[in-house]
Each structure stands twice: as C-alpha cells, then as structure tokens.
Amino acid sequence: MTLAFPNPTRAYDETRGLIRFIGHDGLNQVLFLLPVAVFDRAGTSSRKERDYLLAFDRLRERILAAARDAYQSRRRHTIELDLDAFGSSLQSA
C-alpha cells in the first residue's frame, strides 16, 4: 500500500511544541509529529498556535512529501520529522 493523507486535520501540541497529523497505509494509521521549531527563523519562537497551523497549511505538500519519504525509510506507527527531513527550506517560510 501507499501512504495517503485522506484527512487534512492537524493539531498543535503546545506542551510538546509540535504539530500532529495522521497518514494511512491501508488500514494502518501512522502518526506524524512535526516540531514547530522547523518553522522558526533564527531562534524566533514567539509564534502562536494559529501561526504554526497556517505555516503547516502553506507548506502542506512539502511536509507530506517529507512524511512519505520518512515513512518509506522507517515504516513505523509514529514518526517524528525534523529539520533534516526538509533541509533548511522550511525555515524561510
């Protein structure tokens, strides 16, 4: 099966400083965790939930492509993405 993202829902977890989103590989659900630090430029961390979710939405296609690549190499039920999954491209967003 191929990893798909039929549900566009994403959620901000302020306590852990990340955005959660779900992918599906057939009947298997895969939880992705994206630290919001990947959106912060030069150590600026004064953004709010709305800002992070809007940034995620603007970059959704790139984030989902990185998630697919990470899943292909790891095949786990939970995958935490990091800046290495994107290079430095998300920091300029």
The domains found in the chain, sorted by start residue, are 3-92 (3.30.160.140)
Residue-wise DSSP of 23-68? EEETTEEEEEEEEGGGG-STT-----HHHHHHHHHHTHHHHHHHHH
Q: What is the pTM of this model?
A: 0.84
Smallest CA-to-CA distance from 33 within 90, 87, 85, 91 is with 85
Q: In this predicted model, what pLDDT tens digit does every residue of 23-45 receive, in sequence order?
A: 999 999 999 999 998 887 645 55
Task: Return the higher-pLDDT residue of 88 and 79.
Answer: 79
Using the predicted structure, report yes or no on whether residue 59 has a pLDDT greater than 80: yes
What CA–CA distance (Å, rounded) separates 78 from 29?
9
> Which one-letter DSSP state was computed for residue 92?
G
Amino acid found at 65: A
* Residue reference for tokens 């430095």: 88
